[in-house]
Structure 1
Amino acid sequence: MNQRVNEPLSAIAPAALPASTVDSLPPAPTIAAHPLQKTSVYVTQPVLPPLAEFLPYLEQIWDSKMLTNGGPFHQQLEEALCEYLGVPYISLFSNGTLALISALQALRVTGEVITTPYSFVATAHSLVWNGIKPVFVDIDPVTMAMDPARIEAAITPNTVAILPVHCYGYPCDVDGIQRIADLYGLKVIYDAAHAFAVRHRGNSLLNHGEMSVLSFHATKVFNTFEGGAIVCQDAKTKKRIDYLKNFGIADETTVVAPGINGKMSEINAAFGLLQLKGVDDAIAQRGIRDARYRQGLAGVPGIAVMTSIAGMEPNYSYFPIFVGPDYGRTRDELYFALRARDIYARRYFYPLISQFPMYRGVASAESDNLPVATRAASQVICLPLYPTLPLEQLDEIVNLIRDLPNP
């Protein structure tokens, strides 16, 4: 039997990910019952303030009759987020996907864009919606983000931009990516959906590249029910973004671009203002649970976790583990064992974006081109992590993982 939680253990470092296949999903294995919690545990759960605290905001909206189109709460939230995040300009959107699509439009990106296959599918979808060809490159085995060496090798005369992802909120190699972008004259747009409030070397991680795109979906560290934003570096660019998210309308009689309706409503913005008051405590509570997972899983054969990047102040947005052959059970056996106990961990990110039918025909989508991402996708499980996750339930999850190979 493996050592159980609540004993002094050191953090486990990332391990090399051996080759495996993700071509087929095995059936759920038959595993003996285990006396875990009675209620379902999901990979995440939004933190909601007391409803009574939200009612005054709603009353103001009802009184003003202003529901959208850049109302007072929308403006207040943009200002508050700029101050909190340490960014110069931010433009709110109704969701992160429309923000990604609009960021590419604002920079007039066409042709080919180099991106990662190891992300949520919206990353690549935003390119296709703009008529842009995605070019997939492999990831770094420590950060799970794009490997700059692979980026440089994938550049062609048609390459216009790089779309990296700060995966799980861990910083990309921003220096390496910017060096390549400067050398080849490429734009850089960061998908920072996981990176709200992450700081890197004392500054906001969101200030790298031409733009960073955030998601405020209900699953994120900071949410506005649904929402998103673009961070940019100058007032002129923000104005263009604001036009694009409002049909391209500049004034009552002038339309300057074929924009879309991506505006955040006053209700979402008001909720964001309320949520912002508690986000520091929410991140701190996530950090407590992150540390407890690390202590409990340290030393478990075949289980690897990610370690902090130098200079990183994390937001603890996800807790991924990687299940290697030394564990004694496959990743999917562990995944289904958790589900059998009503623990709904998720295999973020499996399958790879490059394995979905609409992307398989892209030459760069071949698994041979993406060995590290392919291995990671076949081994990853993101365990439940949210500020109100009961510690006793977290300990039960850890004990199941420790005990499963030794029935």
Structure 2
Amino acid sequence: MINVTKSYLGKKTKFLGYVDSIYASGWLTNQGPLVAELEERLRDYLGVRNIILTNNGTLALQIAYRALNLAGSAITTPFSFVATTSSLKWEGIRPIFADIDEASWNLDPSAIEARIDTDTQAIVATHVFGNACDVEGIAQIAERHRLKVIYDGAHAFSVRYKDRSVLNWGDISTLSFHATKLFHTIEGGAIVTNDDALAARIRLLCNFGIVDTDIIDGIGINAKLNEFAAAMGLCILDDIALILEQREEIARRYETQLGDHFDLQQQQHHSQRNHSYFPIALASESQLLRCRAALNAQGINPRRYFYPSLDTLGYLQPQSPQTRSRALSRRVLCLPIYPGLPRHVQNTVIQTLLMENAGRSEPITERFWPQVNTAGWMDDRLPLPDPESKRIC
């Protein structure tokens, strides 16, 4: 089965070299040398002031709320992965949903103010599919109402807005380095902030509040990244330019072939994308289900991201219906995109979608691509994922 993504593993020899260094030092966790090296390299690559690695992206969000001493309620988006909202609820913060912008699919700044309650302390927005939010519009609202801003940047690795990392916006941005992400540490995440004092507090929260062996300064939890995970991150960071290049090439081909037939997410002005996903919006949920079934029959497994709209979840009721998010969530399907995706597989995805959209029963391959390279299409500049590795969707 061809899934919506396939984890990139980098060069095995390089990874094993890092593993040898771990065995030599015996240092497995607790801010080891590879974690320190990865933090430094990511700080330079992303262009941020402080980055603190964590063992997953959900804990990164929870620690962000704790570090900012949030309580009461927070305005957030209903069109995101469930962790954006469940992390708020888990920390005792009441999610209040504001609707999304129909073009960008991100939290709509014009919908936020009407949803602010007397106990609202923050805005939690997601850069959906790596598309930058209207960060300036959100900043203006936050300043006017004295709200903190947290960005769920799980999809936003390397995304730039006005020629600097979008992660520099807000009080805190978080990242996910789960195996499904374009940059990953198998499991992992990170917290980014420009506030040095806040960064120091976050580090304490990630390590039980321990200052040193004799001092514990308040409550904390274990959110530390281990050395083996950091080793994977270092291997992948070496190849990040080629990973992004190949994703862009696949995305451009999808856009060229499908852009006139399906609704695509509109890119935020002044921003650069990372092509972490390729979502399309079909005309209706019934068409989505037909297309998904047709692709499944070809051995291809697209995914419904994000469904259902989070304002419909039972444990978050009562909520005001967010009609744009609910409508969009029933129509969005994410297509396979990852380094090493064979050209003929992408051809099949495109052909199947166009056939279903046009109501055709005969293949239309020759009309769109007379020369199909069934042997695959990526060159050997970037090692493909190990074919024996488990595919994660």
- The structural deviation recorded for 1:253 is 2.2
Tell me which amino acid in the other structure corresponds to 2:302. Answer: A
Q: How many residues align?
A: 359
Q: 3-state DSSP class of the match of 1:285? A: helix
Counterpart check, 1:74 vs 2:35: yes
Residues 1-400 of structure 1 aligned to structure 2 (within 5 Å)? 40-300=1-261, 303-325=262-284, 330-359=287-316, 361-364=317-320, 367=321, 370-400=322-352
TM-score by length of 2: 0.89
CA distance in structure 1 between the aligned counterparts of 2:249 and 2:269, rounded to whole angstroms: 20
Query: Structure 2 counterpart of 1:316, which letter?
Result: H
List, as ranges, runs of 4+ consecutive aligned residues in structure 1 with deviation greater than 6 Å.
none
Whole-Å separation in 2 of the counterparts to 1:299 and 1:310: 21
Unaligned 5+ runs, structure 1: 1-39
Q: Distance in 1 between matches of 2:131 and 2:85?
A: 19
Note the C-alpha offset of 1:337: 1.7
- Amino acid in structure 2 at the alignment position of 1:362: P
TM-superposed CA distance for 1:309, in Å, is 2.3
1:406 aligns with 2:360: yes
1:260-284 alpha-carbon deviations (Å, 9 max, x no partner):
1100001111211111000111011
Quick check: 1:331–1:380 contact (8 Å CA) kept in 2? yes
Q: Contact (CA 8 Å) 2:28, 2:226: kept in 1 or not?
A: yes
CA distance in structure 2 between the aligned counterparts of 1:72 and 1:299, rounded to whole angstroms: 50
> What code does the residue aligned with 1:129 have?
W
Partner SS state of residue 40, structure 2: helix
Partners of 1:83 and 1:202 in 2: CA distance: 15
Measured on the aligned residues, the alpha-carbon RMSD in Å equals 1.2
Structure 2 portions without partners, runs of 5+: 362-393
Q: Percent identity?
A: 42
Tell me the secondary structure at the aligned position of residue 397 of structure 1: helix
Distance 1:282 1:363 in 2: 40
Deviation at 1:70, TM superposition (A): 0.3
Distance in 2 (alpha carbons) for counterparts of 1:129 and 1:73: 31
Question: What letter corresponds to residue 298 of structure 2 in structure 1?
Answer: R
Instruction: Tell me if the contact between 1:115 and 1:134 (Cα under 8 Å) persists in the aligned partners.
Output: yes
Task: Tell me if structure 2 keeps the 8 A contact 1:113–1:161.
Answer: yes
Question: Taking CA–CA contacts closer than 8 Å with sequence separation of 6 or more, which of the two structures ends up with the larger relative contact order?
Answer: 1
For residues 36-94 of structure 1, the C-alpha deviation after alignment (integer angstroms, 9 at most, x for no partner) is: xxxx2100011111211111100110011100000111111111000000000000000
Cα deviation code 1:281-316 (max 9, x no counterpart): 10110000000001111332xx21123322211100
On the 8 A contact 1:45/1:386 being kept in 2, the answer is: yes
What whole-Å deviation, never above 9, does each CA across 1:304-360 have from its counterpart, x for those lacking one?
Answer: 1123322211100110000015x9x6211111221222211001001112222212x
Distance 2:266 2:110 in 1: 21
Letter in 2 for 1:309: Q
